[in-house]
Structure 1
């Protein structure tokens, strides 16, 4: 899964929304895994992809599953900003650094909520770079 994390971030930040076929397959697999694991409704994910975040535990745990699969968060749902920054291309680091640091410092009420709060922050800070599989 760590390999998936590096590939995901490298491609994503290098070319936002321009996913090649391999990346699309990886994203689909990540999505399928996490939907299966937490049982979230597709409609909730679709809305969150557009910035409409329902305050529903399944959606929150879906975001944590994504972070877990990408090896970016610990068991408490706390993301490691250094790990994320280490794989972001140099030309995106200046833009990403303050967003990552601000959003990963926020905390929710439980591990799933911690990641969910970070994802919502990312959307509000930079909707043009926000992405949820």
Structure 2
């Protein structure tokens, strides 16, 4: 149940990556987000915050496109990917296109496939380092990725 909720949140946020619709604009402008987006995002954030020990002050900076290069932040990012089940257990690669079958339209599928094509090859020995480098690649590959940070940090910044 929790994993499905996490997948639904990630999918909803990535919808904003594929099309510039009202929710994405609200996220970017830091306006009030509907509770049905904030609640599961906050659950995901809190779980990964506790598991990683990352400092919220460093995580909040991702809303400006800054990803801190420290162990806790890297492991927070790994936790996010792990909880939404996009890490290939056999290879350790992060494959966002695993969510493509859940996408409601081809634009969203194209975003998943684009990010996987650009960044899915990244694999380092350490899983937290891999997650961090993949996240950096996502930021470079698609400028709308920052909206995911805005959703995760929505309640933290208010």
What range describes the TM-score normalised by the shorter chain of this pair?
0.7 to 0.9
> In the alignment, is the contact (CA less than 8 A) between 2:118 and 2:141 conserved in 1?
no
Match of residue 9 from structure 2: 8
Match of residue 64 from structure 1: 78
- Cα 1:120–1:36 change in 2 (3 A) is same
- Cα 1:59–1:77 change in 2 (3 A) is farther
> In the alignment, is the contact (CA less than 8 A) between 1:79 and 1:104 conserved in 2?
yes
Instruction: Say which of 39, 49, 55 aligns to 1:25.
Output: 39
The alignment yields a C-alpha RMSD, in angstroms, of 2.2
The structure with the larger Rg is 2
Q: CA deviation at 1:29?
A: 0.8
> In the alignment, is the contact (CA less than 8 A) between 1:51 and 1:120 conserved in 2?
no
Count how many residue pairs are aligned between Structure 1 and Structure 2: 133
Match of residue 79 from structure 1: 94
Task: State how far apart, in whole Å, the 2-side matches of 1:40 and 1:32 are.
Answer: 10
Q: TM-score, normalised by structure 2?
A: 0.72
Task: State how far apart, in whole Å, the 1-side matches of 2:51 and 2:10 are.
Answer: 22
Task: State how far apart, in whole Å, the 1-side matches of 2:122 and 2:130 are.
Answer: 7
Q: CA deviation at 1:58?
A: 0.6
- SS of the equivalent of 2:36 reads helix
Q: TM-score, normalised by structure 1?
A: 0.84
Instruction: Say which of 108, 125, 132 aligns to 2:124.
Output: 108
Question: Where do 5+ consecutive residues of structure 1 fail to align?
Answer: none
Task: State how far apart, in whole Å, the 2-side matches of 1:94 and 1:74 are.
Answer: 20
Q: CA deviation at 1:21?
A: 1.0
Instruction: Say which of 126, 130, 137 aligns to 1:121.
Output: 137
- SS of the equivalent of 1:2 reads helix
- SS of the equivalent of 1:105 reads coil
Question: Where do 5+ consecutive residues of structure 2 fail to align?
Answer: 17-23, 153-158
